[in-house]
Amino acid sequence: MQVAHLPHNLNTLYLPKKDLMHLFWGGVVRRMAIILLGLFSAIYVYETFVGLGLTSQLALILVLSFFVIEQATRLVALIFAENLSQKIGFKGTIWASSIPFFLFIPAMILAKGNPFLFFFAAIFYGMQSSLYWWGYHGYFIKRGDTEHFGLSISEAGFLETFAAVATPFFGAVIVSLLGFPLLYFLTGALVVIALFLVGRGDEERQRHDVTFGGVLILIRRLKSISLAYVGSGGEGMLYVTLWPLLLYFIFGQLVSMGEIVSLSVLVSSLFSLAVGQWVDKQGVRSVIRIGTPLVFISWLIKGLNRSFSAFVFADSFWNFGERMVVYPLNALTYKKALEGKSTAKAILFREVNIIFGSFFAISLVMFFVTIGFDLSSFIIIAAVMSLMPLIAYYKRRI
């Protein structure tokens, strides 16, 4: 693989080949759409059910049920994604993810008048997520440079940060002034742009079949590494889905929620590239050892102090720490794929564990809400799950 290196004194950047940059830029635009959906979908579903006269507790349970269905669908759809990538390639699988996505958009909009459509919307969203990430990770592994996986991941994340800085506040203003339907139309337009940026051609395909049974055996053999992905996936899922909803409950307006998320991303974005270089030079262990406690501390602050400034500080802490956990785990997936010469097995191992963590976390919160706890109980669950990557660290499996 041909790469361009900057002079030694400027060698903080690694420039991948053009086709991988297309994947990065497509990811940037798609990230804008996913940020908008992640921040506002839970609020939209909640407001819809409350508007029908349901109690706050029952509306919350239905919101959580939406995400349980989504994650269950995502797990099942992995089988389809794995088979599809053998036939149409990884980029083709990314393009195929747009079909359920464009079914998800009208289902969400029309669910305002017919809430039963939320069930189908959750299924469509789970399908598109599974297809997209299978294609994205597969193509990244095939076209990436093993010596620079950490920096490549952080550069992709750094580019996505540009989208993440302004998008939350911008989305909050759109919803406040023009309503949720326009927001969903906007996400559809962004996904179209993202697809054209990713492009077609220069296809990479999955060459070898992989089974769930084989991956489950691998999960049992690598329990501590599996728990690292489970913990990271579950904690991340709670942040993406329930943290915005809690901010909305506390401040009572969308704009304040958007301001907190945007400001925290801006502060932490300065460290994105440094994390990736650190992964490449120091290895996964050193970075996760520091990042995991940062994520845990951020949840403690969120649970103890509910002021605007405290939330911005804690969320900045979280964004920085989260990069120091997720980037190394992604780099580990990519390197194991090359070492084991099985892209599909490495991706399936990662995705199954992350989905299981997400499913478990949401289901546990739903149980607590059902027996009378309020939504903020998820902070405790997120804090505990954020520590799980340290199990693999102390057992020296990463």
Which pLDDT band, with edges at 50, 70 and 90, does 6 fall under? very low
Mean pLDDT value of segment 4-30: 60
Give the HSE-up count for residue 97: Cα atoms under 13 Å, Cβ half-sphere: 31
Residue 2 has pLDDT above 90, yes or no: no
Q: Is pLDDT above 60 for 320? A: yes
Q: How far apart, in whole angstroms, are the C-alpha atoms of residue 175 and residue 167? A: 12
Q: Is the pLDDT of residue 8 over 50?
A: no
Contact 101, 88 (CB under 8 A): no
Distances (CA, A) of 158 to 40, 271, 327: 23, 9, 11
Taking residue 268's Cβ as centre, other Cβ atoms within 10 Å add up to 22
> Is residue 63 predicted with pLDDT exceeding 90?
yes
Report the C-alpha gap between 323 and 271 in whole angstroms: 9
* Residue at 133: amino acid letter: W
Residue range 199-253, pLDDT digits in tens: 876 566 666 667 777 888 888 888 899 999 999 999 999 998 998 899 888 887 7
| Average pLDDT of the residues of the chain | 82
> What's the pTM?
0.86
Q: What is the pLDDT of residue 313?
A: 82
Domain 16-394 has CATH 1.20.1250.20: yes
**Is the Cβ–Cβ distance between 142 and 90 less than 8 Å?**
yes
Q: Name the pLDDT band for 127 (thresholds 50, 70, 90).
A: very high
Predicted local distance difference test score (pLDDT) of residue 96: 93
> Residue ranges of the domains in the chain?
16-394
The lowest-confidence range among 151-155, 161-165, 324-328, 356-360 is 151-155
Contact assessment for residue 347 and residue 220, using Cβ atoms and an 8 Å cutoff:
no
DSSP 3-state assignment of 211? coil
Tokens 């607590």: give the residue. Answer: 368
First to last CA, the chain: 27
